[in-house]
Structure 1
Amino acid sequence: MRIHHHAARARRAVLALTAAAGLAVAGLGAAVPAHAASTARTHHQHVSWARSCAVPKKRGYMACNALRVTGGTTATSKAANRASRLSANATAAATPSGYGPTDIQSAYNLASAAASSGSGQTVAIVDAMDDPNAESDLAAYRSQYGLPACTSASGCFTKVDQSGGTSYPTADSGWAGEISLDLDMVSATCPNCNITLVEANSASMDDLGTAVNEAVSLGASFVSNSYGGSESSSDATYDNSYFNHPGVAITASAGDAGYGVEYPAASPYVTAVGGTSLSADSSSRGWTESVWGTSAGGNGTGSGCSQYSAKPSWQTDTGCSGRTVADVSAVADPATGVAVYDTYGASGWNVYGGTSASSPIIASVYALAGTPGSSTTPASDAYANTSSLYDVTSGANGTCSPSYLCNAGAGYDGPTGLGTPDGTAAFTG
């Protein structure tokens, strides 16, 4: 079934059971093979936009639901939610496994910046629906890792609806998993940052975009978006309405269904964030990374050449005449995933992955680097500071031509962009 962008319902950057077990795919653009596109578009005939979401490592549990009808959660998905939560109750770990703050800061050379920077900066997280346990789950995560408390009473944590008020949307166990992941990754990367959670009324592009605008109006200079859907000719309108915010670093997940382009990652006004597999090793860095995905495609980070978005002046790759995805990347493979605490969508500690993890990590690295210039496009920063990134040179997320759009190599490539953070220098203007 062909899904049209205009009545969009978003899907968070997908959830997989394990890297080997495969994932629930996000909606992709025409660059995706036809069979993959069909899989992504058959969850429900009335849904027009796919969303990307976190990937739990526990078999039988998904932190977000498949595509929804416009009217909300159906009886079928309610039953699926109940089954998911029962499985999560049986399998969720009592203590964390997966990478924590020390790991993330070590892997990306951020420990010094995380200890001394970020105070006074606000990272905004945009998600759909409500997580009633967001603040208490955030407190549990930060307490576990000895991070400073971040509460609404202290002004560190703020939760608002898409209009800036407290008329929160309907609670949703699926989006709650995404919200927990996003909040925890900001905490892990920038422990001194303030966090604003903006909850959109629904997973439509108009509501999510309105939430982005609200985040900026509330003073956030860094906004993370862990959702994506098929490109369309409407994207330029969405760009101008929701994502054209000079001086604000806006990040967007590249997607989790392998080679193919999603929006808003394709927007020239956002930093498109790809995903890697991250493992400790005996190198001087202490870590090694490769593309999250395989040459068979279907699983892994998104990437490719946009059909609708023009090439920004700061992108210089020659195999794509339009906007190329991604710009930079960070850990996303659920098999090398991150620890997340969630008690509304799950029952405590789980291991998540997906480009839903890498997007808030990169937004938080921007925050550690300092406030962007008022008239700048922060997505361009890394292109002027490539020496301050770890170049990812191995792995693939599908098959394509030209090959760099889906295969890692020296310098720029689609799946990992220019690479992963080596400190904060690549994220300053």
Structure 2
Amino acid sequence: MRFALLSALVVAFGAAIAGPANAAGKPIPADVHNVCGPAAPGTVRCFAQLRTDVHGGAGPRARTALPQGYGPADLRSAYRLPDAGGDGRTVAIVDAGDNPNAEADLAVYRATYGLPPCTTGNGCFRKVNQAGEASPLPTDLGWGSEIALDLDMVSAVCSACHILLVEADSPSVADMAAAVDTAAALGATVISNSYGASESNGMQAYAASYRHPGIAVVASSGDSGYGIPNVPAAYDNVLAVGGTTLTAANTERGWAEAAWAYAGSGCSAWVDKPAWQQDANCPGRMVADVAAVADPRTGVAVYHTYDAPGWVVAGGTSASAPLIAGIIALAGDPARFSDASYLYSHASGLNDVTDGSNSTPVMDCGGDYQCTAVTGYDGPTGVGTPNGLAAFE
């Protein structure tokens, strides 16, 4: 069978590549900037992207002149989310290096959109190093925009959630895994990871750090299109979050979604297929499981002043992962998501995305579900995007 052969070739290709760079990648548009460059061996890269043609300036905005990019009201409308919920639950964000302005910038974002304050003083916000201590914090590693994006997306969909920012000493695979363990130890109910590197031999040594029973662990699928899947998204106990292009539409929903052309998807050469995945043409773990807005061309508003001009429009699956993490916390039972099985059994509560493809010049699945949005499961968007909380409660 053609597609079965294709899947086998993908697995073999993945097994032959030991480095972190995704060989299936394709050039990004000229008006989009990758926050993080390619991952060096033994490290991960963040998946945040910024529009370079949108500069919104600094400071709070009046409600009559909100920044460009989707804000909380847009995201709640697109995914039919309630305005309230998530009280007392903690979403942990794991990133590399420090953003010294993280709390102050978060305050501007939340004030601009009328969200309640989330500060160290009121107990809503906490920032620690990878050992769980308030100091010393790591140096700036160029992930400042990534950190701001993560914090703003959790806030956008779960304004009552507490936020724990764990800053790893470096983007090494070992340090990031240690930071995830710290997030779990400090009481996070959901842990969001907007980074990764192409799977390779030896990666299973860190799988246990992303497996914490009773805690939902989500990870971005990546932003290089179809090819070798990224870890930690490919670990079978992690909820792998793909990406869509989200646009307003004259439909009953009021929105339309298609698979984002750069959303990561792929068939694992190293992780066995979990029992809850039934797709036919990938013998291993298939990425992704679920999806949300990621295209920076239809991106989200983010506020970041440390090494950016203030208001920016951002995207990448670095946007979709913390958004899904916030929705899991909002729904109220993160323990259901120790893996993705609950979502697969409740797919009727999701929007099924059936348009778009993430094929690349190097890797083209020939129209198969692994790189093409189809009815039911597909690689770029998984089992769908949130449609209220029905699939998460």
Q: TM-score over 0.5 for the alignment? A: yes
Q: Please state whether the residue corresponding to 2:176 is helix, strand or coil.
A: helix
2:168 alignment partner in structure 1: 200
1:218 aligns with 2:189: no
Amino acid at match of 2:351: Y
Amino acid at match of 1:170: T
Alpha-carbon distance in structure 2 between the residues aligned to 1:23 and 1:192: 31
Structure 1 stretch displaced more, 186-195 or 163-172: 163-172
Alpha-carbon distance in structure 2 between the residues aligned to 1:126 and 1:263: 14
Alpha-carbon distance in structure 1 between the residues aligned to 2:57 and 2:207: 41
Offset at 1:235? 2.3
- Find 1:228's aligned residue among 182, 196, 203: 196
Offset at 1:285? 0.5
Alpha-carbon distance in structure 1 between the residues aligned to 2:43 and 2:118: 34
Number of residue pairs the alignment of both structures matches: 363
CA distance 1:160–1:176, change in 2 (3 Å): same
Counterpart mapping for 1:48-127 below 5 A? 48-59=42-53, 91-94=55-58, 96-110=67-81, 112=82, 114-115=83-84, 117-127=85-95
Alpha-carbon distance in structure 2 between the residues aligned to 1:25 and 1:395: 25
1:274 alignment partner in structure 2: 242
1:239 aligns with 2:210: no
1:296 alignment partner in structure 2: none
CA distance 1:25–1:125, change in 2 (3 Å): closer
CA distance 1:25–1:155, change in 2 (3 Å): closer
TM-score scaled by structure 2? Answer: 0.87
Alpha-carbon distance in structure 2 between the residues aligned to 1:149 and 1:244: 31
The 8 Å contact of residues 44 and 196 in structure 2, kept in 1 or not, is answered as: yes
1:388 aligns with 2:349: yes
- Find 2:107's aligned residue among 139, 144, 159: 139
Alpha-carbon distance in structure 1 between the residues aligned to 2:48 and 2:116: 25
Amino acid at match of 1:175: W
Offset at 1:53? 2.3
2:286 alignment partner in structure 1: 324
Offset at 1:92? 4.2
The 8 Å contact of residues 32 and 51 in structure 2, kept in 1 or not, is answered as: no
Gaps of 5+ in 2: 1-15, 62-66
The 8 Å contact of residues 234 and 287 in structure 2, kept in 1 or not, is answered as: yes
Give CA deviations for 1:62-117 in whole Å, capped at 9, x if unaligned: xxxxxxxxxxxxxxxxxxxxxxxxxx9xx44455110000000110010x2x32x1
The 8 Å contact of residues 193 and 367 in structure 1, kept in 2 or not, is answered as: yes
The 8 Å contact of residues 26 and 229 in structure 1, kept in 2 or not, is answered as: no
CA distance 1:402–1:312, change in 2 (3 Å): farther
CA distance 1:427–1:157, change in 2 (3 Å): same
1:251 alignment partner in structure 2: 218
- Find 2:310's aligned residue among 328, 338, 348: 348
Which stretches of structure 1, 4 residues or more, deviate above 3 A after TM superposition? 2-5, 19-27, 46-50, 91-95
Gaps of 5+ in 1: 28-39, 60-87, 294-299
Q: Please state whether the residue corresponding to 2:226 is helix, strand or coil.
A: coil
Alpha-carbon distance in structure 1 between the residues aligned to 2:41 and 2:205: 21
**Alignment identity in percent?**
53
Q: Please state whether the residue corresponding to 1:427 is helix, strand or coil.
A: coil
The 8 Å contact of residues 341 and 350 in structure 1, kept in 2 or not, is answered as: yes
Alpha-carbon distance in structure 1 between the residues aligned to 2:276 and 2:213: 15
